[in-house]
């Protein structure tokens, strides 16, 4: 995203808490930076919805940078995941109302696919930032599972009135623990002499499923859209 688009996005955050991600806030943001509506649409063709998408993706880029610089080696892996989700929310604490308005926007059927794609991208940023190298079905299941966790935590966070969002972080820990229990069950299935053949059969059945990057970078698959500047 170039500097002019950043200006428009920053200006919009003054209006979104009052008018939502709407044409009203879009035009007001353009006017604030001295841009015509046509110039603003050159950066955000769909207007406010593209502004909302840009806002979310800017947060993802910042999270990716933080994870690239962080040394999380002393943490248990489940704590690294929880830490990454918490970072993602803390960085938009000052724009919580904009996030709330975005959740409302992407709940609309016409924009639901955009919202689901954004959540998947966030999950991909987190897994990639934590060093995930899976190239099979696990690539998809990890992101799908984390997408569910992230979505539920965001909704909880939006309604949380506890000091320092302590209730949200406790909820996040419970959700991560739920996921880890599922992983432990899967491990026990593989170790069980009776159930192991079923697990191995399933693994053979899904062996041909590869992550997007392992299939030549297919750009139409979830989590592997072209990088945005």
Q: Do residues 170 and 77 both lie within one domain?
A: yes
Identify the pLDDT of residue 227: 41
**Comparing C-alpha atoms, which of 211, 216, 2 is closest to residue 124?**
211
Ranges of the chain whose pLDDT falls below 70: 182-210, 213-229
Identify the pLDDT of residue 85: 96
Q: Do residues 149 and 205 both lie within one domain?
A: yes
Identify the pLDDT of residue 42: 96
By percentage, how much of the chain surpasses pLDDT 90?
69
Identify the pLDDT of residue 202: 38
Full residue range of the structural domain in which residue 135 is found: 62-215
Q: Do residues 175 and 112 both lie within one domain?
A: yes
**Residues with Cβ within 8 Å of residue 136, at least 6 apart in sequence:** 206, 207, 209, 210, 211
Kindly report, residue by residue over 43-70, the tens digit of the pLDDT. 999 999 999 999 999 999 999 999 999 9
If one counts the domains in the chain, the total is 2
- DSSP category for residue 95: G
Identify the pLDDT of residue 79: 94
**Residues with Cβ within 8 Å of residue 156, at least 6 apart in sequence:** 167, 168, 171
Question: Cβ distance 134 to 141 under 8 Å?
Answer: no
In a domain, 4, yes or no: yes
Q: Do residues 153 and 107 both lie within one domain?
A: yes
Q: Do residues 28 and 107 both lie within one domain?
A: no
In a domain, 141, yes or no: yes
In a domain, 224, yes or no: no
Question: Residue 100's domain is classified under what CATH number?
Answer: 1.10.357
Q: Do residues 73 and 40 both lie within one domain?
A: no
Q: Do residues 90 and 190 both lie within one domain?
A: yes
Q: Do residues 15 and 93 both lie within one domain?
A: no
**Whole-structure pTM over 0.85, yes or no?**
no
Identify the pLDDT of residue 209: 52
Q: Do residues 160 and 105 both lie within one domain?
A: yes
What sign does the CA torsion over 182, 187, 192, 194 have?
Answer: positive
């Amino acid at each position: 995203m170039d500097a002019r688009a950043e200006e428009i996005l920053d200006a919009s955050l003054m209006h979104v808490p009052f008018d939502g991600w709407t044409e009203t806030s879009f035009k007001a943001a353009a006017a604030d930076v001295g841009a015509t509506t046509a110039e603003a649409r050159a950066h955000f063709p769909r207007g406010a919805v593209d502004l909302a998408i840009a806002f979310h993706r800017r947060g993802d880029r910042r999270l990716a940078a933080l994870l690239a610089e962080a040394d999380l080696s002393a943490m248990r892996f489940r704590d690294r995941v929880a830490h990454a989700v918490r970072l993602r929310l803390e960085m938009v604490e000052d724009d919580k109302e904009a996030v709330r308005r975005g959740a409302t926007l992407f709940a609309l059927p016409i924009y639901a696919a955009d919202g689901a794609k954004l959540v998947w991208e966030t999950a991909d940023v987190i897994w990639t930032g934590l060093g995930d190298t899976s190239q099979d079905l696990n690539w998809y299941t990890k992101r799908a599972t984390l997408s569910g966790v992230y979505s539920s935590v965001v909704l909880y966070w939006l309604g949380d009135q506890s000091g320092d969002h302590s209730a949200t972080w406790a909820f996040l820990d419970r959700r991560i623990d739920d996921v880890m229990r599922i992983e432990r069950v899967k491990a026990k299935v593989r170790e069980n002499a009776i159930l192991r053949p079923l697990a191995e059969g399933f693994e053979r059945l899904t062996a041909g499923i590869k992550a997007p990057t392992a299939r030549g970078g297919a750009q139409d698959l979830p989590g592997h859209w072209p990088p945005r500047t």
